[in-house]
Amino acid sequence: NAGVTQTPKFRVLKTGQSMTLLCAQDMNHEYMYWYRQDPGMGLRLIHYSVGEGTTAKGEVPDGYNVSRLKKQNFLLGLESAAPSQTSVYFCASSSAGGGEGGYTFGSGTRLTVV
Amino acid sequence: AQSVTQLGSHVSVSEGALVLLRCNYSSSVPPYLFWYVQYPNQGLQLLLKYTSAATLVKGINGFEAEFKKSETSFHLTKPSAHMSDAAEYFCAVSDGRGSTLGRLYFGRGTQLTVWP
């Protein structure tokens, strides 16, 4: 009963380094999302995908790229990390269009860029 | 796009007191509505959701919320707070029904503190 799994859970990067965050879901969900959570800002959508091979920009896409080569995986990449990307990143997935099913969230990745 | 307003970024109550967390949304099409809870250093868990059945929705841990279309509100309540309720609570609203995108829009969150 894994649901949505995010790896890694914690990471410290130096400015300019790159990394990839992995999100995997085992619920056969079509839709997947990447959010960042910052104090007082709530959850802000970075990128999302409505199916395998598709991706789209959310509210704060700059500095991030994503890929959805397999239905169960959604990868978030930082090509050149900046301190402003210090945040907690959450992946989520959903099954239904229109949002009826709500999201299932991963447990998050805490990223610090120094 | 939807917008969600949670009134009060911080709410403090005594143990045993009523909990009321406010949420208003903007929508021209009936949406689905959700409350999520986030305990420290954890992800978000679904507390309850409204999907067009009864307007009073019961969730886990004794929480409930009432959908009021005329007020575009979905306030979260619990009659008697417990120390374990201390967490951050997020209200979320979906794209309007009929949308092909399953996106949720989140409020900025309300931090609930429960005093002994």
Inter-chain CB proximity B108 and A42 less than 8 Å: yes
How high is the pLDDT of residue A92?
Answer: 94
How high is the pLDDT of residue B55?
Answer: 87
Pick from A43, A48, A94 the residue to mutate for testing the B interface (most B CBs within 10 Å).
A43
The CA distance from A4 to A107, in Å, is 8
Q: How far is CA B103 from the centre of its chain?
A: 16
H or E stretch at A16: none
Q: Read out DSSP for B23-70?
A: EEEE-SS---EEEEEE-TTS-EEEEEEESSS-SEEE-GGG-EEEEEGG
Chain B CB contacts of A60 under 8 Å are: none
B99 in contact with chain A, both atoms CB, cutoff 8 A: yes
Among the partner-chain residues A48, A99, A108, the one whose CB lies closest to the CB of B94 is: A99
How high is the pLDDT of residue A99?
Answer: 67
Inter-chain CB proximity A31 and B108 less than 8 Å: no
Q: Tell me whether strands B87-94 and B56-58 are parallel, antiparallel or unpaired.
A: unpaired
- Encode pLDDT of A9-52 as tens digits: 999 999 999 999 999 999 999 999 999 999 888 899 999 998 99
How high is the pLDDT of residue A40?
Answer: 83
Residue in the block written with tokens 């802000």 = A44
In sequence order, what are the beta bridge partners of B13? B114
How high is the pLDDT of residue B53?
Answer: 73
The CA distance from A60 to B53, in Å, is 34
Closest alpha carbon within chain B to A29: B102
- Encode pLDDT of A62-112 as tens digits: 999 999 999 999 999 999 999 999 999 999 998 866 567 788 999 999 999
CA B28, B99, B6 angle in degrees (round to 5)?
50
DSSP B3: E
Chain B CB contacts of A31 under 8 Å are: 101-103
Which residues of chain A have a Cβ shorter than 8 Å from any chain B Cβ?
A: 30-31, 33, 40-43, 45, 48, 50, 90, 92, 94-103, 105-108
From the list A66, A85, A82, the residue with the least C-alpha distance to A23 is: A66
Name the minimum distance, in Å, from the CA of A84 to any CA of chain B.
19
The CA distance from B35 to A91, in Å, is 17
Q: Which residues are CB-neighbours of A55 under 8 A, at least 6 positions away?
A: A47, A48, A49, A66, A67, A68
pLDDT higher than threshold 70 for residue A1: no
Pick from A36, A105, A109, A110 the residue to mutate for testing the B interface (most B CBs within 10 Å).
A105
Q: What is the largest CA-CA distance in chain B?
A: 46
